[in-house]
């Protein structure tokens, strides 16, 4: 039997969830907020809104950007952003493993 758990972390409002983490991972891979947004099927402005809101809620810079010019701009996930990705994915796995065990215990085949 399978189960799915969606991990969302925040105090008064969600600050970190799978959407932000996926966005950061795609930025890390492509060095581009625009490309990451396209892959997630969200607008560029929405992607930046998600990033800015998380940065404000967490009090940490997650993405550094270099403005475009002749060669175009780029973006880089900060060390704090990379640590956030790692911590979220680790916690997500732990929560999923715990939930799976509880489902098997409480819903025997």
d(CA 66, CA 88): 26
- The full length of the chain comes to 109
Q: Looking at the domain assignment, is residue 90 inside a domain?
A: yes
Per the structure, the complete domain to which residue 57 belongs is given by: 17-101
pTM value?
0.88
Structure tokens at 102: 């509880």
CATH number, domain containing residue 90: 1.10.10.10
Q: Is residue 10 part of a domain?
A: no
Domain-located, residue 57: yes
Q: What pLDDT, in 10s, does the model give residues 20-66?
A: 999 999 999 999 999 999 999 999 999 999 999 999 999 999 999 88
Q: For residue 58, give the nearest of 98, 26, 16, 87 by alpha carbon.
A: 16
């Amino acid at each position: 039997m399978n189960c799915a758990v969606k991990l969302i972390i925040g105090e008064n409002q969600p600050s970190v969830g799978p959407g932000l983490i996926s966005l950061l991972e795609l930025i890390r891979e492509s060095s581009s907020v625009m490309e990451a947004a396209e892959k997630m099927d969200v607008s560029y402005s929405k992607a930046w809104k998600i990033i800015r809101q998380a940065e404000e809620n967490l009090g940490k810079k997650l993405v550094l950007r270099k403005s475009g010019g002749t060669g175009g701009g780029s973006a880089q996930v900060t060390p704090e952003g990379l640590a956030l990705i790692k911590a979220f994915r680790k916690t997500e796995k732990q929560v999923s493993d715990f939930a799976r065990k509880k489902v098997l215990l409480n819903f025997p085949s």
